[in-house]
């Protein structure tokens, strides 16, 4: 780890609401959240030193999206770092932002991302030859095939009952009905018994809903200037790690930190968490709330184990004992998670968790507010856990 010249703080952010118009261009989406975030934080565009932007949009046909994004946002001649690293890529964009500020090179950096729906059947892009991957990356499997295989393996290895998955989805939906930004905010609350059933319908309801087009932005500044923008700043730290992209290499991979694990664990996330905790000066016991990227309930439980909130294979016990609720020692997915807030790819899968924890630390979450939180963690992954990202936020000084 290199020398850190100053701490990084978060002072604002924004995210597009669900069901934005299908005919919005990526420019409209990006500009919407960029300007909303700047306005919330009271930051003029001339104060922004750099933008790091993750995108997942086939509408950008040019090979140089950086200047296109800079031009759309109106920050020329300031630089934009374009990143295309799947759903968790904004974690890397935030890593770029963090380093730019911690090194002393920049004072104000915006980390953002967008993913625009480009067809009416999102599953069309989720085959073994689409979604920007080579055929053998998925061993010939679709994303849905792989997800089902991983979940079944985890369930079998650690004897995870359907009731734990049903409880997970139920709690996510409970929070979503209290979050106006969630895709399921105005939908009827599901029945717990139905979510726990062994049926194709219940299995689908336990998985993430498709949020469609979405964009979000977060504003980071140096600790020494944060008081200019807010009296409730939040410390932010981030780390990420890679895992082999080929599924067959999830077993007995010849790297010491990954060799003991297989398809039922997330060693990349374990590694990233260790680094993030060291930078932030915390341990897993210090965490008061967690937001995880959970395209399925089982994946959410695996993430809780990887970040050290639960022992490996024991997240089911935490969930079934009421660990996700506001009354627990560490509430989970208060933003609604994948099953109810929705899957937003590059536009929100990492950012939604950071923003939720940011707003929670500022006491702005209404009926889903965690009582007196101090430390929040969020996770995200991309390309089926060949990329795992973790963000840590902590309550800053108060004027």
Q: First-to-last CA distance in the chain?
A: 31
> What per-residue confidence (pLDDT) applies to 393?
98
Residue 71 inside a domain? The answer is yes
**Structural domains of the chain, count:** 1
In this prediction, the residues of the chain whose per-residue pLDDT falls under 70 are 1-3, 58-59, 61, 117-142, 398-399
Residue 371 inside a domain? The answer is no
> What per-residue confidence (pLDDT) applies to 102?
96
Q: Name the E strands within the chain.
A: 8-15, 50-55, 80-83, 108-115, 214-222, 234-242, 289-291, 375-382, 387-395
Residue 93 inside a domain? The answer is yes
The upper half-sphere exposure of residue 362, i.e. CA atoms within 13 Å in the direction of its Cβ, equals 18
Are residues 305 and 313 in contact, defined by beta-carbon separation less than 8 angstroms?
yes
Whether the ω angle into residue 77 lies within 30 degrees of 0, i.e. cis, is yes
Strands ordered across the beta sheet of 108-115: 80-83, 50-55, 108-115, 214-222, 8-15, 234-242, 387-395, 375-382, 289-291
Are residues 15 and 214 in contact, defined by beta-carbon separation less than 8 angstroms?
yes
Instruction: Give the whole-angstrom CA distance, residue 203 versus residue 184.
Output: 17
Residue 53 inside a domain? The answer is yes
Residue 383 inside a domain? The answer is no
Residue 355 inside a domain? The answer is no
CB under 8 Å to 297, separation ≥6 — which residues? 164, 165, 166, 168, 169, 206, 207, 339
CATH code, 19 = 3.40.47.10
Residue 56 inside a domain? The answer is yes
| Six token digits for residue 145 | 């095939």
Residue whose entry in the numeric block shows the structure tokens 């998670």: 337
Q: Which domain, by its residues, includes 56? A: 8-115
> What per-residue confidence (pLDDT) applies to 120?
45
Residue 19 inside a domain? The answer is yes
Q: Model pTM?
A: 0.94
């Amino acid at each position: 780890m290199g020398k850190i010249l100053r701490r990084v703080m978060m002072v604002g952010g924004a995210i597009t609401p669900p069901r934005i118009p299908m005919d919005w261009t990526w420019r409209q989406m990006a500009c919407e959240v960029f300007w909303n975030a700047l306005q919330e934080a009271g930051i003029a565009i001339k104060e922004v030193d750099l933008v790091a932007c993750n995108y997942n949009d086939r509408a950008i046909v040019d090979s140089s999206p950086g200047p296109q994004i800079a031009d759309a946002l109106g920050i020329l001649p300031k630089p934009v770092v374009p990143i295309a690293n799947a759903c968790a890529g904004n974690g890397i964009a935030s890593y770029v932002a963090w380093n730019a500020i911690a090194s002393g090179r920049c004072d104000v950096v915006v980390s953002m991302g967008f993913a625009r729906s480009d067809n009416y059947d999102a599953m069309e892009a989720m085959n073994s030859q689409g979604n920007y991957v080579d055929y053998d990356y998925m061993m010939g499997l679709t994303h849905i095939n792989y997800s089902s295989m991983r979940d079944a393996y985890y369930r079998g290895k650690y004897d995870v009952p359907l009731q734990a998955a049903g409880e997970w989805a139920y709690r996510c939906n409970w929070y979503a009905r209290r979050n106006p930004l969630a895709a399921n905010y105005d939908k009827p609350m599901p029945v717990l018994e139905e979510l726990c059933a062994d049926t194709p319908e219940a299995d689908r309801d336990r998985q993430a809903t498709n949020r469609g087009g979405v964009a979000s932005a977060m504003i980071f500044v140096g600790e020494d200037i944060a008081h200019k923008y807010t009296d409730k700043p939040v410390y932010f730290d981030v780390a990420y790690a890679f895992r082999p992209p080929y599924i067959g290499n999830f077993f007995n991979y010849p790297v010491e930190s990954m060799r003991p694990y297989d398809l039922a664990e997330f060693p990349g996330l374990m590694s990233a968490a260790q680094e993030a905790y060291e930078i932030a000066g915390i341990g897993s016991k210090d965490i008061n709330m967690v937001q995880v990227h959970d395209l399925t309930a089982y994946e959410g439980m695996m993430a809780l184990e990887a970040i050290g909130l639960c022992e490996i294979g024991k997240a089911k016990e935490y969930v079934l004992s009421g660990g996700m609720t506001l009354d627990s020692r560490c509430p989970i997915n208060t933003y609604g998670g994948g099953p109810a807030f929705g899957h937003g790819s590059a536009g929100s899968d990492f950012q939604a968790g950071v923003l939720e924890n940011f707003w929670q630390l500022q006491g702005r979450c209404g009926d889903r507010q965690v009582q007196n939180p101090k430390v929040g963690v969020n996770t995200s992954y991309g390309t089926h856990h060949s990329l795992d990202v973790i963000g840590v936020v902590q309550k800053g000084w108060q004027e």
